[in-house]
Chain A
Amino acid sequence: MAKSDVKLIGAWPSPFVLRAQIALNLKSVEYEFLEEALGSKSELLLKSNPVHKKMPVLLHHDKPICESLIIVEYIQEVWASSGPSILPSDPYERAIARFWAAYVDEKWFPAMKGILGAQDDEARKAAVAQVAEGLALLEEAFQKISKGKSFFGGDHIGYLDIAFGGFLGWLRVIEGMGGIKLLNETETPGLLKWADDFAAHPAVKDVLPDTEKLAEFSKVVIAKLRAAAAAPAK
């Protein structure tokens, strides 16, 4: 397939863009990465995703697909015959994977943002507690779902690995910021090992953002989040 048939609009720090990249890599899909300049939105992005104006956007034969998890499902469906299946074959196991991915996006990620945007120590502590609570649930889920294998997807990286793993870089940045080990041997032994296996995976290691680079970039994000929290609601 010609490389220009598949394009991904994204930016290197985005955990959501990372999900799409990992999925494309898992399926050995050649694609053109259209890097957005940080702080501004390209015409192509605005045209391709007029509703949300956000990345990632996958362009396949110039048709846009938006929303990272929808993109991952699309990639699995189009390139089903290439590489391992991103979703399990059993509908119940698929539902479990989708449930936890939705949990990550709706409950866990906002708590992560809460840490970055915290105005004071008290707020940060509360957000850290929330993130830790979520990680405890995810650890339990990992133990059940992985059935002793390396990933949520078993021997292979799957939907939930991708959904949660997209945030690994940011998780490491937050650990560095606060000197806290959110993933640790006592509370999250499974996820601790999973994180290393995930980061080392061939579909992930070249696209997972460098933690130091991300930490530097996080200062911009933190400033924005704190400004938004301090300003009165529009």
Chain B
Amino acid sequence: MAEVKLFRSWSSSFALRIVWALKLKGVPYDTIFEDLSSKSSLLLQYNPIHKKVPVLVHNGKSIVESLVILEYIEETWKQNPLLPEDPHDRATARFWAQFGDDKVFPPVLDVLRNEGKEQEEGIVKAKESLKYLEEELKGKKFFGGEKIGFADIALGWLAHHENVFEEVTGITLIAEDEFPLLSEWRKTFPDAPVIKENWPPRDKLVTKFQAIREQALVQKLKMAEK
């Protein structure tokens, strides 16, 4: 019997991708919650290079890096495919997944962890990137088209964690008038079956990211004082 284990933390948006993928495909698995401030020896054994979550362990072999794990899941469990069949469409889905990690996530984090000029710059960069996502949603319900796909899963954090960031910073990056399609997707995606049952508790996330923001601002002040 195939054995599947997922190492995750309660809040990690990257690990959430794997939860969604496994559940959308109906793959049974065991969860091991990691306290990232005190990583288990098992986690370090399975992911010695990056020492991060998520880690998928299947039949005793570990796979790490969330987008690599998603491809592995797609290739191992072929039901309910997350990637389309057409090679160009597949390339497009992979492109937007990577885009989210490279060009959306970093400036959004900058907005969370900064204030003043640096935060302003983060807002500009984030919105520049979000415009491309808005355009990509034209005529589509999800990035995957009629149903949730690879890019939706990769970008899913925008529909939950990013809301939390907006509350913590008081800055709305995805306003309805500016990003109507993205705003709509942010309502539809979290409400979809499987997705809606697996969000980490919002109030806990607010507390966590408030602390992260405060810490980051304190660090910046310390650096400025040196």
Contact = CB atoms under 8 A, between A and B. Distances in A.
**Interface range, A side:** 20 to 34
Interface in A51-85: 51, 60, 63, 65-67, 70-71, 73-74, 77-78
A113 interface: no
Interface of A: 51, 60, 63, 65-67, 70-71, 73-74, 77-78, 91-92, 94-95, 98-99, 102-103, 137, 234
Contact of A70 (B61, B91, B103, B121): B91
B95 A98 contact: no
4 A-B pairs with the lowest CB-CB distances in the bound complex, closest first: A91-B75, A77-B87, A95-B72, A95-B63
**Interface range, B side:** 20 to 34
A122 B65 CA distance: 32
Given A51-B132, A60-B88, A91-B75, 13 more contacts: A63-B88, A65-B88, A65-B91, A67-B95, A67-B98, A70-B94, A70-B95, A73-B94, A91-B72, A92-B61, A98-B65, A99-B63, A137-B49
Nearest to A78: B87
A221 to B, nearest CB: 21
Given A67-B98, A99-B63, A102-B65, A74 B87 contact: yes
B71 A51 contact: no
B90 interface: yes
A77 B90 contact: yes
Contact residues of B: prevailing secondary structure: helix
Contacts of A98: 65, 68, 71
Contacts of A67: 94-95, 98
B94 A99 contact: no
Given A51-B99, A95-B63, A102-B65, A73 B91 contact: yes
B98 A74 contact: no
Contact of A95 (B69, B98, B99): B69
Contacts of A99: 63-65, 68
Contacts of B68: 95, 98-99, 102
16 contacts: A51-B99, A60-B88, A66-B95, A70-B91, A73-B91, A74-B88, A74-B91, A92-B58, A92-B72, A94-B72, A94-B75, A95-B68, A95-B72, A98-B68, A102-B67, A234-B121
A91 B91 contact: no
